[in-house]
């Protein structure tokens, strides 16, 4: 909602100035182009807001036991064609969580994983790699599963570009699910780490 304020204000001011007095055709054409750019930005923000609402609607479903590694493999496989077109190699390291399960709404977790990885793919430099790692974090008598996505960023994107908005949507969804979200950048290497509580194990780790 806060992000909508600037483009809305900019569009209103541009229209008010254009109507204040007669202008050249070139001036009106330029203002129309600016207005279209601002409108596109607002449209992307509204779509992101709608996506957050849709993810929240999934939360009303009954929680279930989720086999984490299988879910992660499924999402990575779904994104393989996208990665191939982009020329980005996806590497998945999940050997330590072969029997790991956690409780939640599978459809929601699948949607959030997909959105997070899809956005990272869009932000990754063409021809580079996207590394996905997951494991168990133990401490203070509690266990949590974590998943980390790392990529080499390409051209810098604006704050409200579609991939950046996708990460914000994923962040909002994970945090609403009780997870902790952390994003870091060192030069052009970026990473996002999500830590989810409520872990149980089956027959043991591989």
Q: Report pLDDT digits (tens) over 70-85.
A: 899 999 999 999 999 9
* Residue 170 sits in the same domain as residue 197: yes
> Confidence band (pLDDT; 50, 70, 90) for 130?
very high
Residue 48 and residue 104 in one domain: no
Task: Decide if pLDDT at 155 tops 70.
Answer: no
Tally of domains in the chain: 2
What dihedral angle (degrees, nearest 10) is formed by the CA atoms of 97, 101, 107, 108?
Answer: -80
Please check whether residues 54 and 75 belong to one and the same domain: no
Residues 132 and 76: their CA atoms lie apart, in Å, by 9
186 or 131, greater pLDDT: 131
Q: Report the C-alpha gap between 109 and 196 in whole angstroms.
A: 11
pLDDT given for residue 189 in this prediction: 92
Mean pLDDT, residues 39-61: 73
Task: Please give the residue range of the domain that contains residue 76.
Answer: 64-201
pLDDT at 54 over 80: no
Q: Is the pLDDT of residue 184 over 90?
A: yes
* Residue at 117 is within a domain: yes
Average pLDDT, the chain: 83
- Clarify whether residues 109 and 182 are in a common domain: yes
Spatial CB neighbours of 127, under 8 Å, sequence gap ≥ 6: 87, 88
Task: Tell me the two tokens of residue 124.
Answer: 């990754």
Band (pLDDT 50/70/90 cuts) for residue 113 is very high
Decide: 14 and 34 in contact? Cβ < 8 Å. Answer: yes
- pLDDT of residue 185 exceeding 70, the answer is yes
Any alpha helices (H) in the chain, and if so which ranges? Answer: 2-20, 25-58, 68-86, 106-123, 162-176
Residues 35 and 13 in one domain: yes
- Note whether 184 and 129 are same-domain residues: yes
DSSP state of 23: -
């Amino acid at each position: 909602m806060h992000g909508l304020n600037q483009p809305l204000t900019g569009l209103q001011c541009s229209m008010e100035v254009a109507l204040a007095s007669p202008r050249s055709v070139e001036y009106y054409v330029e203002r129309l182009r600016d207005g279209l750019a601002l409108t596109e930005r607002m449209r992307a923000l509204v779509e992101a807001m709608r996506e957050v609402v849709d993810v929240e609607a999934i939360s009303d479903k009954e929680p279930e036991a989720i086999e984490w590694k299988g879910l992660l493999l499924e999402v990575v496989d779904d994104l393989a064609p996208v990665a191939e077109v982009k020329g980005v190699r996806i590497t998945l390291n999940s050997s330590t969580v072969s029997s790991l399960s956690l409780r939640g709404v599978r459809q929601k977790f699948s949607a959030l994983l997909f959105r997070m990885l899809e956005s990272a793919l869009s932000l990754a430099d063409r021809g580079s790699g996207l590394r996905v790692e997951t494991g168990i974090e133990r401490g203070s008598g509690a266990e949590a599963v974590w998943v980390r996505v790392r990529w080499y960023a390409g051209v810098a994107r604006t704050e409200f570009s579609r991939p950046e908005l996708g990460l914000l949507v994923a962040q909002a969804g994970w945090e609403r699910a009780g997870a902790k979200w952390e994003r870091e950048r060192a030069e052009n290497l970026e990473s996002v780490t999500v830590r989810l509580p409520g872990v149980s194990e089956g027959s043991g780790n591989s």
